[in-house]
A and B are shown apart, each in its own frame.
Chain A
Amino acid sequence: MSWLRNPWGRPRFLPIVTGVYILWSIVPVTVAVLFAFNDGRSRTTWQGFSTRWFLDDPGSVKNDPGLLSALQHTLLLAVICVVVAVPLGVALALGLQRWRGHGSGAANTLMLLPLVTPELVMGVALLLLFLQIFNGWGLGTTAQAIGQVTFAVSYVVVVVRGRLVTIGREYEEAAADLGAPPVSRLTRVLLPLLAPAIIASAGIVFALSIDDFVVTQYLSAGADTNTVSMLLYSTARGAPSPALNALASITLVITLVTIALAYLVYRRFAGAGSASEAATLGEVAIER
């Protein structure tokens, strides 16, 4: 245990543990993606490379109506979620950041609650809400979108507020001194400064929505409202072919590209440099 004697030296066991951990966390998923390209029905025996489970086979993602509609529905929900949650969250972040006095503490706690509530509890609550109170709307796409927005808003608030803190009030005050009215201070000073955070939070919400499972499943209504996550849950154990792996791989690529773009935009325009800031951006996705 030489690292105990000299923690500033090159500890041996730490890089080994870290390396094994990284392999353990990445390799299984890589194998699952690999089998999406298997030229056979097996998900355990490699039979050569092919793209049949994406395009050609009757049971492929392109040709199986169940798989294709799950992919479309997942993307539809993600777009709705971004369109609704981002404006709502940006306004809430601005309001909470500047509003001092009665009710601001309670509003803050209300915003943080969805982040710490286990998703199952939220799922049950929203299910009973839509069955017992908003039974006119019923379950399905609208309910699913509302459910996703409800937890996504808080993530937008956390990202945007982080940026608001670093911007400070100087630019606004300068604009006020130069005679800008409140509305143009908001639209011409604050919002452009917040743009990187807004774009980053849009990316995060898009990815969160695609990967969401519990709330989406609880508020679903039949096969038409299946998402990729739900299909993974219901067919993973009995899946007949690697088409399921292909479907999962497609959403994996979409999510990772979205997050990478969000990160690059944030870094390029907000000048986030340090590793810790990168971690904060990741830390934002507190739970699923």
Chain B
Amino acid sequence: MESRWTWRFLALPGVVWLSLFFLVAFYAVLCVAFGNQNTLNEPVPFWNPLDWNVGYVLEVLQNFRDGGQYLTVYLRTFAYVGIAIVISLLIGYPVAYFAARHAGRWKGLLLVLLVLPWWINYLMRMLAWINLLDAAGWGTKVLHYTAIDQLFISLHLLSGEGRWLEGQPATVVIALVYGYVPFFVLPLFAALDRIDQRHIEAARDLGSSPFSAFRRVTLPLSLPGILAGLVLIALPMFGDYYTQDLVSASPRTSMIGNQIDQFTRQGSQKTVGAVLTVVLAVVLLVFMLYYLRATRRAGREGERE
């Protein structure tokens, strides 16, 4: 049989590329994390797993156990991401629901508008808000005239008029929502759009009220879409350092991503940075596997159709 080998041969370059620049790259992180440091704090990786040194890993885990700075930053990141995905759900569900069910002849246009932010540079979208939330910016003025800034001040979410970009946790969370919610809305739209209208009609015919039809039919059927969408935006939020850097840059709002970025790219202690990267990857592995399974299942269903 020619074909078996033809297809393997075609897949080969891609598989080699990904093995080299993804798997080996990740192996390098492990070897640095379980390696040593020289006197200049430069990493000395140990390439043989039998030689691995757990010293730096233990040091970091110890810090977690003792409630040190790594734990503080982790808890803060979980809180920011948790609040951000709840807000994303509250904003995203009605929008996706409307687009899938009630948009009528506007559906095409609406989809274009929902896709648009995907293809606008993330950093440009943040730049836009930096301009708007400047002390003299248009956004700050609008928020002042509508007394929203007073509301935020009275809720202790803002430390003073016009200080939106001065290390406010609320600004960081809202910026995260702004940055990632488009990536939630679209997959959720696709999930809602796939639900067979007849299920809902059947529920109505059998006497359920519109609300219970929504609660007992539409909502459960869209649950996999909700979960996949939330995982999809939570993963990059956990690895985000630029949003916080741009809209706050205060150590009081720094996230896991900022910590890793400081240790690795900006560079003082790459070994510690590698350890923190491994810890983050392990923490996120559950989510990643969930999402992989969900996409592969959807892929198989697609093939069967």
Stretch at the interface among A63-71, A103-111, A192-200: A103-111
Binary interface encoding of chain A residues 176-220 relative to chain B, with 1 for a CB under 8 A from any of its CBs, else 0: 000000100010000000000000000000010011011001100
Per the bound structure, the CA–CA distance linking A256 and B124 in Å amounts to 13
Please classify the interface of chain A as helix (H, G, I), strand (E, B), loop, or mixed, using the class held by over half of its residues.
Answer: helix
Q: Is B238 touching A251 in the complex (CB atoms < 8 A)?
A: no
Among residues of B, the one whose C-beta sits closest to the C-beta of A29 is B128
Beta-carbon contact of A213 and B123 below 8 Å: yes
What residue in chain A is nearest B140 (Cβ atoms)?
A44
Q: How far is the CB of B250 from chain A (nearest CB, A)?
A: 12
A243 to chain B, nearest CB (A): 12
The distance in angstroms between the C-alpha atoms of A108 and B12, with both chains bound, is 12
Kindly state the separation between the CA atoms of A14 and B100 in the bound complex, as whole angstroms: 11
Decide: A44 near B138, CB < 8 A? Known: A7-B214, A236-B246.
Answer: yes
- Residue A48 interfacial (CB < 8 Å): no
A236 touches B138 (CB 8 A): no
Choose among B4, B124, B181 the residue that contacts A101 (Cβ–Cβ < 8 A). Answer: B4
B190 touches A28 (CB 8 A): no
With contact pairs A120-B240, A153-B18, A236-B246 given, residues A10 and B11 touching in the complex (Cβ less than 8 Å): no
- With A13-B94, A31-B132, A255-B119 as known contacts, state yes or no: A125 contacts B10, CB within 8 Å: no
Q: How far is the CA of A182 from the CA of B6 in the complex (A)?
A: 9
The answer to whether A233 touches B265, judged by C-beta atoms less than 8 angstroms apart, is no
A127 CB–B CB distance under 8 Å: yes
Could you tell me which residues of chain B, from 216 to 272, have a CB within 8 Å of some CB in chain A?
A: 232, 235-236, 238-242, 245-246, 249, 257, 260-261, 264-265, 270
- Give B179-197 interface residues, CB cut-off 8 Å to A: 181-183, 186-187, 189-190, 193-194
In the complex, A127→B102 CA distance in Å? 47
Chain B: interface residue total (CB-CB under 8 A): 111
Residues on the A chain within 8 Å of B292, using CB: 109, 112-113, 116
Question: Which of A53-61, A75-83, A88-96 lies at the interface?
Answer: A88-96
B67 nearest CB across to chain A (Å): 24
- Minimum C-beta distance from A211 to chain B (A): 5
Most buried by A among B123, B138, B238, B295: B123
- Chain A residues within 8 Å of B232, by CB: 286-287
Q: Which of A121, A127, A287 contacts B281 (CB 8 A)?
A: A121
A224 at the interface (CB under 8 A from B): no
A279 touches B270 (CB 8 A): no
A95 touches B113 (CB 8 A): no
Contact B17 A128 (CB under 8 A): no
In the complex, are the beta carbons of A88 and B13 less than 8 A apart?
yes
Q: With an 8 A cutoff between CB atoms, is B111 at the interface?
A: yes
B123 close to A233 (CB less than 8 A):
yes
A32 pairs with B236, CB closer than 8 A = no
Knowing A31-B138, A91-B11, A165-B302, the reply to whether A110 touches B264 (Cβ < 8 A) is: no
Q: How many residues of A contact B (CB 8 A)?
A: 105
Given contacts A95-B12, A287-B236, contact A211 B302 (CB under 8 A): no
Contact indicator A132/B28 (Cβ below 8 Å): yes
* CB nearest to B281 among chain A residues: A121
Chain A residue at minimum C-beta to C-beta distance from B211: A4
A182 touching B2 in the complex, CB below 8 Å, given contacts A44-B138, A108-B296: yes
Shortest Cβ gap from A142 to chain B (Å): 12
Distance (whole angstroms) from the CB of A97 to the closest CB of chain B: 8
B300 to chain A, nearest CB (A): 10
Per-position 1/0 for A260-288, Cβ under 8 A of B: 00000000000000011011101101111
Among candidates A7, A95, A128, residue contacting B10 with C-beta atoms closer than 8 Å: A95
Check: B291 CB closer than 8 A to any chain A CB.
yes
Question: Contacts A88-B17, A232-B123: A125 and B25 contacting too (C-beta < 8 A)?
Answer: yes
Given contacts A32-B124, A279-B189, contact A150 B9 (CB under 8 A): no
The 8 closest A-B CB pairs, nearest first, are: A95-B11, A118-B239, A92-B14, A120-B239, A125-B25, A95-B10, A32-B128, A28-B128
Q: List 22 A-B contacts (CB under 8 A).
A: A7-B101, A14-B98, A22-B114, A28-B128, A91-B14, A99-B7, A103-B8, A112-B292, A113-B22, A115-B295, A117-B288, A121-B277, A124-B264, A128-B32, A132-B31, A133-B24, A150-B17, A150-B22, A218-B265, A252-B120, A255-B119, A282-B118
